[in-house]
Amino acid sequence: MNAIKIVGVGSYIPEMIKKNEDFLKNKFFNQDETAFDADPEVIIKKFKAITGIEERRYVDDDLRTSDIATFAAEKAIKNAGIDPETLDYIIVAHNFGDVSHKKQQGDTVPSLASRVKEKLQIDNPGCVGYDLLFGCPGWIEGCIHSLAFMKAGMAKRCLVIGAETLSRVVDPNDRDSMIYADGAGATIFEHQPDSKGGILSHKTATYAKTEANYIYFDKSFSPDREDDRAYIKMYGRKIYNFALSKVPEAMKACLDESGKSISDLKKIFIHQANEKMDEAIVQRFYKLYKMETPKDIMPMSINKLGNSSVATIPTLYDMFLNGDFEHESLNPGDTIMFASVGAGMNINAIVYEI
């Protein structure tokens, strides 16, 4: 018995609600700067049908990514009942650093992990903080890093945070701006040599030969832009096809390596990217085992919280454990899976026993 287990969870969900109807006044353009020829209400209706998103959360103007990362971390530390001075690593997964309200430049010096450590007032210099830029799969990859540190005897406890303020980097003239949201989720991993379960297996892959720029940073689609400020952009159809092709295979490889059966899976916590895409990924995953997708296997939060990138899975997991999904729960010994896909293009998955 030699387990790497989650002993604490916490999240921060911003209070500001941005509904789909709030985008009715936005003027959307295509990549070639031509106006999108459709009624805004039609655009929003189709958007909801495809993504499942009804509303999303944005941070208040005075908050930055490192702030909400700290809020989530504080809750995870309290939930774990540990002294933060006993943390060996703080790993903060994000993509754009601290972007202040109405500022054009992300700030990553010092690292967000160092800022979180400062805000937590951790004195121990042996608590090492670093940032992880890995697209939306960043939180899962941080969990895998924690596993490696603990297996190597380099750590006993690691704090892994996924935090993002994507509302600061979206182009208001791009329809895809409606997808993105803000939020933070945190987990504390602990090495428990006398326990069983925890992380059983993991898989990670990067596809960059032709896929590297499926998600990228570029200027506004508006021909009337006043500066060359860059915003998050993506080729949605290419990402959709890529995800359906590659993610189920990675999930299967991870599950097969774990020693668990497909029938052992109780829940799949997948990155909240796009409701239809996530449903199709999980359906294809089960088809690899010649099975139909079980009912309620995949909890979803995207309809109310949008896509907060690295924060979606730890936030969703915290919500689930706190009873936000009525009549659904997990018990000791249950097997679950975390899976994600995002910029890079990166894919990863973890099989975990409660």
Residue 160 CA from chain centroid, whole number? 12
Which is more confidently placed, 41 or 246? 246
- The domain tally of the chain equals 2
Tell me phi and psi for residue 177, to 5 degrees.
-60, -25
Let me know whether 141 and 192 are in one domain: yes
* Residues present in the chain in total: 354
Cα separation values, 201 from 198, 282, 302, Å: 9, 18, 26
pLDDT digits (tens, 9 = 90+) for 161-179: 999 999 999 999 999 999 9
Let me know whether 60 and 94 are in one domain: yes
pLDDT digits (tens, 9 = 90+) for 62-95: 999 999 999 999 999 999 999 999 999 999 999 9
Let me know whether 174 and 225 are in one domain: no
Tell me phi and psi for residue 127, to 5 degrees.
-85, 105
Most confident by average pLDDT, 36-40, 158-162, 328-332: 158-162
Question: Can you say whether the dihedral through the CA atoms of 14, 304, 188, 64 is positive or negative?
Answer: negative
Let me know whether 266 and 337 are in one domain: yes
3-state secondary structure 27-73: CCECCCCCECCCCHHHHHHHHHHHHCCCEEEECCCCCCHHHHHHHHH
pLDDT digits (tens, 9 = 90+) for 207-221: 999 999 999 999 999
- Give the end of a domain, one of 196, 225, 242: 196
CATH number of the domain residue 286 falls in: 3.40.47.10
- Give the end of a domain, one of 175, 196, 217: 196
Let me know whether 211 and 328 are in one domain: yes
347, 202 in Cβ contact below 8 A?
no
Let me know whether 238 and 342 are in one domain: yes
- In DSSP notation, 12-25 reads E--SEEEEGGGGTT
pLDDT class of 36 with cuts at 50, 70, 90: confident
Return the pLDDT at 226.
80
Let me know whether 308 and 185 are in one domain: no
CB neighbours of 95 closer than 8 A, spacing ≥ 6?
A: 133, 135, 138, 164, 309, 310, 343
Pick the range with the lowest mean pLDDT from 11-20, 26-35, 50-59, 229-238.
26-35
- d(CA 159, CA 90) in angstroms, rounded, equals 5
**Could you identify the residue written with the tokens 């030969």?**
209
Let me know whether 340 and 277 are in one domain: yes
- State the amino acid at position 96 in one-letter form: F
% pLDDT > 90, the chain: 87
**R_g of the chain computed on alpha carbons:** 20
pLDDT class of 189 with cuts at 50, 70, 90: very high
- Give the end of a domain, one of 168, 196, 224: 196
Let me know whether 169 and 248 are in one domain: no
Q: Is this prediction's pTM over 0.85?
A: yes
Q: In what order do the strands lie in the sheet with 182-192?
A: 3-12, 182-192, 157-165, 89-93, 128-132
Return the pLDDT at 64.
97
Question: How many CB atoms are located within 10 Å of the residue 32 CB?
Answer: 7
Q: How many CA atoms lie within 13 A of 45 on its CB side?
A: 5
- d(CA 300, CA 287) in angstroms, rounded, equals 20
CA dihedral 37, 43, 16, 319 (to 10 degrees): -150
Question: How many CB atoms are located within 10 Å of the residue 255 CB?
Answer: 26
**Could you identify the residue written with the tokens 């979206």?**
170
CA dihedral 141, 145, 146, 152 (to 10 degrees): 160
82, 8 in Cβ contact below 8 A?
yes
- d(CA 208, CA 7) in angstroms, rounded, equals 35
Tokens of 15: 């209070």
CB neighbours of 305 closer than 8 A, spacing ≥ 6?
A: 13, 56, 57, 181, 183, 272, 312, 315
Q: How many CA atoms lie within 13 A of 335 on its CB side?
A: 15
- d(CA 228, CA 113) in angstroms, rounded, equals 29
Let me know whether 97 and 165 are in one domain: yes
% pLDDT > 70, the chain: 100
Let me know whether 82 and 136 are in one domain: yes
Let me know whether 80 and 141 are in one domain: yes
pLDDT class of 43 with cuts at 50, 70, 90: confident
> CA nearest 87: which of 71, 98, 73, 67?
73
pLDDT digits (tens, 9 = 90+) for 232-287: 999 999 999 999 999 999 999 999 999 999 999 999 999 999 999 999 999 999 99
- d(CA 168, CA 219) in angstroms, rounded, equals 14
Q: Largest Cα–Cα distance in the chain?
A: 63
Question: How many CB atoms are located within 10 Å of the residue 55 CB?
Answer: 17
Domain interval for residue 222: 200-353
98, 135 in Cβ contact below 8 A?
no
